[in-house]
Amino acid sequence: MIYKIRAAVADDHPFLWQMLYYAAHMYESGESPESARLNSDLRPYVEGFGRPGDLGVIAIDPATNAEAGAAWLRTMPPPWPLYRFVDAGTPELAIAVAPAHIGRGAGSQMIARLLADAAAIYPAVALSVRVGNPAKALYECMGFVIVAEITNRVGGKSFIMRAPLTWPL
């Protein structure tokens, strides 16, 4: 499916919180969608989105005009754990696709657009992905490479991945 991709704006906060809930896999432990907003470890991903340097996109289902997913990036506050493995000026990517749209191409379309937009501002983008997450293959196809393996906020293993956005790669 070809999604409409539009820029994310500050007014998209409610949808970004909803997508962060999915990105953080909070549904797996039965937490409520509101739990993402209340989690101090997750707040920096969305709180105040729209500041200089923040970039994001929203995928829209062309048949229904419903929001299907979001991908956004921003530099995180020091001492953010990611910055033990990548430069502190490297923004972190967060992405999630609404369950009804998983596997339909929204993720790859959002990442492609977001990385193209980010290349005008940043030399690289980083992300964290759980070791068993099938999205890791998509990230690798989009140019991300593993730079570290960490213990994530719930005690499991995650990879820190980085994609260079400038030439030479």
Structure letter (DSSP) for residue 73? E
Compute the Cα dihedral for 146, 147, 148, 153 and give only its sign. Answer: negative
Contact 86, 43 (CB under 8 A): no
For 118-145, write each residue's pLDDT tens digit: 999 999 999 999 999 999 999 999 999 9
For 38-93, write each residue's pLDDT tens digit: 999 999 999 999 999 999 999 999 999 999 999 999 999 988 988 999 999 999 99
- The pLDDT score that the predictor gives to residue 169 is 46
Task: Tell the CATH superfamily of the 4-122 domain.
Answer: Gcn5-related N-acetyltransferase (GNAT) (3.40.630.30)
Instruction: Report domain extents, the chain.
Output: 4-122
Strands (E) across 61-139 are located at: 67-74, 92-97, 124-130
- The pLDDT score that the predictor gives to residue 37 is 94
